[in-house]
Amino acid sequence: MKELMKYIDDSLSGIPDSKSFYKYKKAIVDEITDRANEITHAGIDDENVVRDLIISEYPDIRGEYGRLVDEEKKKRHKKQIRLACIFGSIIYFLVIVIAFLAVSFVTGDWAHTWVYLVSFIFAYLSAALIWIVVKLSRRQSLFHPVSRIFIALAVMLLTLTVFLYLKVIFDVNKSWLAFIFGVLAMMSADGIYAEKASERFAIFFHILYIVPAAAMIYIILGSLSVIPWHPGWLLIPASLIIVLLVIFIRILDHNKHKSQEIEEDSEWKDS
Amino acid sequence: MERQLTAELWDKMHYLFRDFNDRMVHVELEYDYRININALKTVLVCAFEKIPVLHSSFTDNHIRPYWRVNEYNIDDVLSVEEVSEDELAGAVDDFLTQCLPPENQVQMKVCVFNHGEKSTLCIVENHMCMDGGDFKFFLKDLCRNYNDYVEKKISPIDMRQGTRSYKSVYKDLSQRDKKAAENLYRNINKKDDHRFPLTESQNGDKSFIARCNVSADKFLKIKSEGKKYGATINDMLMAAYYFSLYELAGFGEEESVSISCAIDLRRHIKDMSETGYTNHTAWMQCKIPERGRDIFETLQYAIRSANVFKQDKYMGLYGLPLLSLGYKIMPHAASEEIIKIGYSNPMIAMSNIGILEVDKLALEGHEPVKGFMSGAVKYKPYVLLSATSMRNELTLSMCVRGNDEDKKIVSRFFELMKKNIDVLIGESAE
C-alpha cells in the first residue's frame, strides 16, 4: 500500500491545493485502497503484482485530474452561457419594446413603427430556430427532418420581415414577390442542408426542387420585366436540362467511389 | 456500489440460445510437467481483473439485462485434483461437461488435473463472455503472462481490454462499406428441418463430449489433396460431414441439405488491440442441392456453396443490424420472443476453431502434448461439430446432451467421417 500511496503522491505532485483537488485525491486514495483489498481477497499475495495491476488500472491520475478540472470548467461555462442567453433575451426584449415606444411617442408614426418591433421579434425567433437546427444536426439523422422544418420556418420569418419593410415602410409595388423569393430561398436552404447533412435521399430533393425553383425565377423575372413572359416560360422546360446534369454528375461521383472501394478491398486482402 | 457492465448483443443472443445449448466452451491441454499452481492462481486473478465479465453474473432484467460484477476468490475459479492415469479421462469429462449458469458468480472454471509428473489443464467458460476465436487469444495471453511471470517476474497483467460491442466489426470498414453493412437488415439464413439422427430427448440425458482424432499424416493430406480440388480444409471437412450425414441419417440422395458453418467476424477487423474478449461469430448456411454421385461431387457442391459467401465482402454481417434493432426498440423480454420467431438456430452446424498453436500455449518451455477445444453441449436435435488441430493432429468433437444410444450414433458418425476423409485423401481401402 505504501508504494501505491507514493505513486499517487508522485503523480499528483506540484498541483496547487484546492477543494476539488482534495476531493479528487481522497476519492482516488479510497478507490485504490478498495481495489487493493479486492485483489488481495481474490487471491493474489504477491504485492508487486497487486501494485502493477492497480497502476495499470490508473495509468494517468494526473491527466485524469486535468480532464476532471476541464470538465468542471466546461460545465461552468455552459451554465454561464445558458444564464447569458436567458438574461440576454430578457434585456433584448426590454430594449426593443422601450425603443419602439420611445420612437413611436417621439415621431407619432405608429402606423410604421410596429414593423420595427415585429422585425426584431422575427429576427430573434429566426436566430433561435437556427440555433436549434445547429444543435439537432449534431444528433442522429432521425432529427434532420425537424431541422429542415425549422430552417423553412426561419426563412419564412425573414421573408415576412422583408415583405413588411417593402410593403409598409417603403410602399414598394409588387412587394408580394418577396414571398415567391422566400419559397425559392426555402427550397435552396433545404437542398443545401440535405447535401451538407449527407441525407440519404438528398439527390431526390435536388431533382424535385429544380423545376419549381425555375418556375419561381420565371415569375420573379417576368414580374420585374427582366425577361418577357413569352418566351421566358422556356426557363421551366430548360430546367430539366439541369435535372439531367445533376443526375449525370451524381452517377459519375458514385462510380468514382465504387472504383476506389474495389482498390481498398484488395489492399485489405493483401495485408 | 454495485458495478455493472453492459450486456452486449451477442451476450443476449447466447443467453437466448439457452434453449438450444449449455453455452459452455471447453478446452483441454495436456502438459508433460506439473504446472506451477501458485503462479497460475496469480495469472488467473490478473486475467479476471482485466476481464471483469469473467467474474460477473448475468442479470436477466426484463427491460435491460446487464452483467453485475462480483467479488470472488481464486478458489471459486481454480481447482486442483490429483488423479491416476486411469481416472484422468473420466475426471476430465466430468469437469468439462459441467454447465455454469449465467447467474453464477464466475463465468469461467479452471481445473488442473495432476497425474504422475504431468498436468492436464481444463477450462470451461460461458460462451456469452467470449467465443472460440477469442478463447484461443485468451489462452495464448494467459500462457504468455504465465511464462513472463514465472521466468522474468513480470506482473501478468498484459491482457487485451476494450469494447465488447458487436459494432467493432464495422470499425475498420471504409465509410461507404460501414454505412452499407449497418443497413444489412436481411436475415439470409433459412430454416432447414433436416436433423442429425439422435434419439428423442429423455429425462436421464447427460452431457458428453465425443471426440475423434485424425492423425497428422492424414490431416496434412487433407490440406494437400484439398488444394488439388481447390478446396480448403473447411471444405474437405464439410464434404465429409455431408456425406457421412446422408449415410447416417438416411437422407435421400436427391435431397438438399444445409449445414451452417461458423464464420469468425474478426476477418473484418484489422486492429484488435482496442477490442475486448467477446463474441464475433456468425453463421454461413452452406447448402448443397443433392448429395452427389460420390464424395468428390459433394465436395464440389460444398466448395461452390462456401464460395458464394466468401465472395461477399459483407460475409457474416447480414442480420446484425436487425438483431440490434430488435433489442434496441423493445424491452428485453419482448425482443427475445420476437427474435425467437425470426431467428432460425441451425440444426446441424460446424465450427472450425482451427489450430491450437503449441508454441504459444507452452508453459515454462513445455508445449502441450495434446489437447482440443470444443463448442457448447447442444441439446437434441441440434448438433455442432467442432474441429481443432494441434501438432497437425485433427480433433473432431461433438458435445451432446444425450444417452448411451446417442453416444453410439455419434461414434458411428465419427467412423463414417474417418472413412469419408480417407476416400477424399485417396486412402480408402475400397
Task: Look at A53 and B46 and tell me if their CB atoms are within 8 Å.
Answer: yes
Closest-CA residue of A relative to B268 is: A268
Q: Kindly report, residue by residue over B190-211, the tens digit of the pLDDT.
A: 888 899 999 999 989 999 999 9
d(CA B118, CA B85): 10
Over 60: is that where the pLDDT of A266 sits?
no
List of domains in chain B: 3-424 (3.30.559.30)
User: Of B41, B153, B313, which has the smallest distance from its Cβ to A43's Cβ?
Assistant: B41
Q: Kindly report, residue by residue over A124-145, the tens digit of the pLDDT.
A: 999 999 999 998 888 766 788 8
User: Of B149, B155, B176, which has the smallest distance from its Cβ to A257's Cβ?
Assistant: B176
Interface test with chain A among B155, B310, B313, by most A beta carbons within 10 Å: B155
Buried/exposed code over A205-223 (b: 16+ C-beta within 10 A; e: otherwise): bbbebbeebbbbbbbbebe
Task: Look at B71 and A41 and tell me if their CB atoms are within 8 Å.
Answer: yes
Residues whose CB falls within 8 Å of the CB of residue B206, separated by 6 or more in sequence, listed in order? B97, B401, B402, B403
In this prediction, residue B411 carries a pLDDT of 97
- At A263, list the grid cell: 482498390
Task: Look at A53 and B49 and tell me if their CB atoms are within 8 Å.
Answer: yes
In this prediction, residue A65 carries a pLDDT of 94
- At A210, list the grid cell: 429544380
Task: Report the Cα–Cα distance between both ends of chain B, in Å, rounded.
Answer: 69
Q: Kindly report, residue by residue over B335-379, the tens digit of the pLDDT.
A: 999 998 888 889 999 999 999 999 999 999 999 999 999 999 999
Residue-level pLDDT, tens digit, chain B, 430 residues: 789 999 999 999 999 999 899 999 999 999 999 999 999 999 999 999 999 999 999 999 889 999 999 999 999 999 999 999 999 999 999 999 999 999 999 999 999 999 999 999 999 999 999 999 999 999 999 999 999 999 999 999 999 999 999 999 999 998 888 888 888 888 777 888 899 999 999 989 999 999 999 999 999 999 999 989 999 999 999 999 999 999 999 999 999 999 999 999 999 999 988 899 999 999 999 999 999 999 999 999 999 999 998 888 899 999 899 999 999 999 999 999 999 888 888 999 999 999 999 999 999 999 999 999 999 999 999 999 999 999 999 999 999 999 999 999 999 999 999 999 999 999 875 5
Task: Look at A261 and B73 and tell me if their CB atoms are within 8 Å.
Answer: no
- Yes or no: say if B129 and B54 are a contact pair by the CB < 8 Å rule: yes
DSSP reduced 3-state for B101: coil
Interface test with chain A among B2, B42, B51, B183, by most A beta carbons within 10 Å: B42
Task: Look at B75 and A271 and tell me if their CB atoms are within 8 Å.
Answer: no
In this prediction, residue B430 carries a pLDDT of 53
Task: Look at B157 and A43 and tell me if their CB atoms are within 8 Å.
Answer: no
CA A92 to chain centre: 23
In this prediction, residue A6 carries a pLDDT of 93
- Yes or no: say if A199 and A205 are a contact pair by the CB < 8 Å rule: yes
Residues whose CB falls within 8 Å of the CB of residue A13, separated by 6 or more in sequence, listed in order? none
Over 60: is that where the pLDDT of A247 sits?
yes
In this prediction, residue A264 carries a pLDDT of 29
Over 70: is that where the pLDDT of A270 sits?
no
Q: Kindly report, residue by residue over A52-84, the tens digit of the pLDDT.
A: 999 999 999 999 999 999 999 999 999 999 999
Q: What are the counts of helices (DSSP H) followed by strands (DSSP E) for chain A?
A: 10, 0
Chain A residues with beta carbon closer than 8 angstroms to that of B48: 42
Chain B residues with beta carbon closer than 8 angstroms to that of A264: 174
Residues whose CB falls within 8 Å of the CB of residue B134, separated by 6 or more in sequence, listed in order? B277, B278, B279, B280
Residues whose CB falls within 8 Å of the CB of residue B136, separated by 6 or more in sequence, listed in order? B353, B354, B356, B373
- At B76, list the grid cell: 471459486
Q: How far is CA A172 from CA A10, A162, A169, A183, A232, in A?
A: 76, 11, 8, 19, 24
User: Of A39, A52, A56, which has the smallest distance from its Cβ to B45's Cβ?
Assistant: A39
pTM: 0.80
Q: Kindly report, residue by residue over A198-246, the tens digit of the pLDDT.
A: 776 778 888 888 999 999 999 999 999 999 998 889 999 999 999 899 8
Chain B residues with beta carbon closer than 8 angstroms to that of A197: none
Q: Which residue has the cell 489443464?
A: B121
Closest-CA residue of A relative to B77 is: A42
CB atoms within 10 A of CB A151: 21
Exposed (0-12), middle (13-18) or buried (19+): which is B131, by Cβ within 10 Å?
A: buried
Over 50: is that where the pLDDT of A262 sits?
no
Nearest CA distance, A43 vs chain B (angstrom): 5
Please, what sign has the CA dihedral across residues A247, A251, A256, A257?
Answer: positive
In this prediction, residue A267 carries a pLDDT of 23
- Yes or no: say if B367 and B359 are a contact pair by the CB < 8 Å rule: yes
Q: Kindly report, residue by residue over B268-318, the tens digit of the pLDDT.
A: 999 988 899 999 999 999 999 999 999 999 999 999 999 998 888 899 999
User: Of A38, A52, A261, which has the smallest distance from its Cβ to B157's Cβ?
Assistant: A52
Chain A residues with beta carbon closer than 8 angstroms to that of B41: 43-44
Find, among B46, B56, B72, the residue nearest to B144 by Cα: B46
- Yes or no: say if A217 and A235 are a contact pair by the CB < 8 Å rule: yes
d(CA A131, CA A125): 10
